[in-house]
Amino acid sequence: MDALHLTLPTLLAGYLLGSIPFGLLLTRLAGLGDLRQIGSGNIGATNVLRTGHKGLAAATLILDLLKGVAAVWLGDLGGPFGLFAGAGATTLPYLGLIGGFGAMLGHAFPVWLGFKGGKGVATGGGVLLAGAWWLGLGSSLVWLATVVLTRISSAGAIAACAAAPLIALAAGRWDLALFSAGIAALVIYRHKGNIQRLLAGTEPKVGRKG
């Protein structure tokens, strides 16, 4: 199977990985009901934290991040059929990033939840870490510093997304700058409501219960 024919299966496989709603599943298993009826209604780790269960929030964060990592690694192996196609079956250099972007689309627009999913921050972080560890680490540090200073998770997400293309450009990686700009566009779009609340000064702080 040639590289071009692996693109769509890899994107789809990444989408299916990303569409697993770990936050929703974990809170239901814990007997907390439907996470979409709590706090912001989001299925990500920040909203899980509003239930008061820090362990569940941490587990959601890690699992959502690992979705992005797994999707990139799947693409790097030559797509979903790479293990059976033989070594060197694909020559497409960015198949892993295609799988990673598919995971972000799956997380943000999961078919199982009527295409109403999360905001893609943790999954996007996993994609960046797996695609270029230094880019993922740099973006994560920007997120952490912003959250520590503001106590607002969405502010950290927006700052990290804005920083990622700049970090890639500083390293001379135009390809990663363009890719991370695509990730930033998706995440910022999913944060449009948060941006309105940030401008109005009504965005909730980290850890506030729903």
Residue matched to tokens 């059929």: 81
What is residue 207's predicted lDDT score, i.e. its pLDDT? 57
pLDDT tens, N- to C-terminus, the chain (210 residues): 455 677 888 899 999 999 999 999 999 999 998 999 988 788 988 889 888 889 999 999 999 999 999 999 888 776 554 443 444 444 466 888 999 999 999 999 999 999 999 999 999 999 999 989 999 999 999 999 999 999 998 999 999 999 999 999 999 999 899 999 999 999 999 999 999 999 999 988 875 554
What pLDDT, on the 0 to 100 scale, is given for residue 209? 53
Return the closest-CA partner of residue 157 out of 129, 204, 132, 125: 125
Ramachandran class of 112: left when φ > 0, alpha when ψ lies in -120 to 50, beta otherwise: alpha
Q: Please give the full DSSP string across 145-199, using - where no structure is assigned.
A: HHHHHH--HHHHHHHHHHHHHHHHHHTT-HHHHHHHHHHHHHHHHHTHHHHHHHH
pTM (two decimals) = 0.86
Query: First-to-last CA distance in the chain?
Result: 49
- Predicted local distance difference test score (pLDDT) of residue 81: 46
Q: Would you call 173 exposed, middle or buried from its count of C-beta atoms within 10 A (0-12, 13-18, 19+)?
A: middle
Q: Looking at residue 86, what is its pLDDT? A: 47
At residue 94, the pLDDT reads 80
Amino acid 83: pLDDT: 44
